[in-house]
Amino acid sequence: MPYALITGASRGIGQAIATELARRQVDLLLVARSGDALTRIGQELATQYNVQVRSLALDLADPAAPQQLFDWCQANAIDVSMLINNAGYGLSGDFEQYTVAENLAMMQVNMTALVQLTQLFLPQLRRQKQAYILNIASSTAYQALPGMSLYAATKVFVLNFSRGLHHELSGTSVSVTSVSPGATDTGFNDRAQINDKAREAAKKVVMTPEVVAKQAVEAMYAKKAEVITGAINKLGAFAAWLLPKSLVEKTAYKIYKE
């Protein structure tokens, strides 16, 4: 039986998507940097839901990792029918406070690895009777975000690439869905070093990974092109489109600026 390949599966939304799919009796291939966490999660899901779970520890910040993942699947005769590009992280603060290497590593994980994996697995996905690509974007894809400028730009890329590919693959066996979560109760804020003011603001609209994952999987199976999770996040995206960009951006910067 073909597998669902989930990147960033060791925590947060990725782990919740893995659980949601296991509940639906889908076999899983879990990928993340943390091998120990993947092994533990895989054993728990296999036992609880009686599904096959494989795992592979890889850091997608390494440009060679996507090809290594694809080659590993080929060597182990693993067919993929769902490609879930969930891995991603943010860097908060002014753009110039980070090194070129730090910024490029984030771009590699958030954008380039996603494109590499999509291109590598797409021929295999086309051969499936029904296949899915699920790309996790962000509510930040709907506006420029001073204080997280590059991160938000990477998510604009994910959203637009996904929407374009959705139309290109219309009429084939492969459906492409982009899901844009807002504030979610994961470890994102810690890794991104989000300030206390922004964390406090997010508490009003924060969602659980489980709720986001359920909406994401339902949107994927429904073959939707694009979904924003949560009513508040939908309203925020509409407001970002409706209001003057300078006003939206200045307001956001007041929150994210130390």
Three-state DSSP class for residue 122: helix
Please tell me the number of Cα atoms within 13 Å of 13 on its side-chain side. 29
Please give the positions annotated as active site. Answer: 151
Q: Above 70 in pLDDT, residue 137?
A: yes
Residue 13: C-alpha distances to residues 65, 184, 209 (Å): 21, 8, 5
| Predicted confidence band of residue 201 (pLDDT cuts 50, 70, 90) | very low
Nearest CA to 39 among 52, 57, 25?
A: 57
Amino acid at position 231, single letter: A
Burial label for 222, CB within 10 Å (0-12, 13-18, 19+), is: exposed
Q: Give per-residue burial for 231-256: e unless 16+ CB within 10 Å, then b.
A: ebbbebbeebeeeeeeebbeebbebb
Q: Residue 93: left if φ>0, alpha if ψ -120 to 50, beta else—which one?
A: left
Q: Is the dihedral of CA 69, 72, 74, 79 positive or negative?
A: negative
**pTM (2 d.p.):** 0.85
Listed by start position, the domains of the chain span 3-256
Nearest CA to 155 among 83, 237, 96?
A: 237
Provide mean pLDDT across the span 182-211.
60
Q: pLDDT digit string (tens) for 167-182?
A: 999 999 999 999 999 8
DSSP code at position 139: G
CB-based contact 55:42 (threshold 8 Å): yes
Cα–Cα distance measured from residue 80 to residue 23, given in angstroms and rounded to the nearest whole number: 18
Which DSSP helix (H) or strand (E) runs through 255?
helix 245-256
Residue 252 has what pLDDT?
53
Amino acid at position 45, single letter: L
Cα–Cα distance measured from residue 34 to residue 98, given in angstroms and rounded to the nearest whole number: 24
Lowest-confidence range among 59-63, 74-78, 139-143, 152-156?
139-143
Nearest CA to 51 among 99, 98, 4?
A: 4
Residue 227 has what pLDDT?
93
Residue 210: C-alpha distances to residues 16, 23, 226 (Å): 5, 12, 19
Q: Give me the chain's average pLDDT, please.
A: 87
Residue 66 has what pLDDT?
98
The CATH number of the domain covering residues in 3-256 = 3.40.50.720
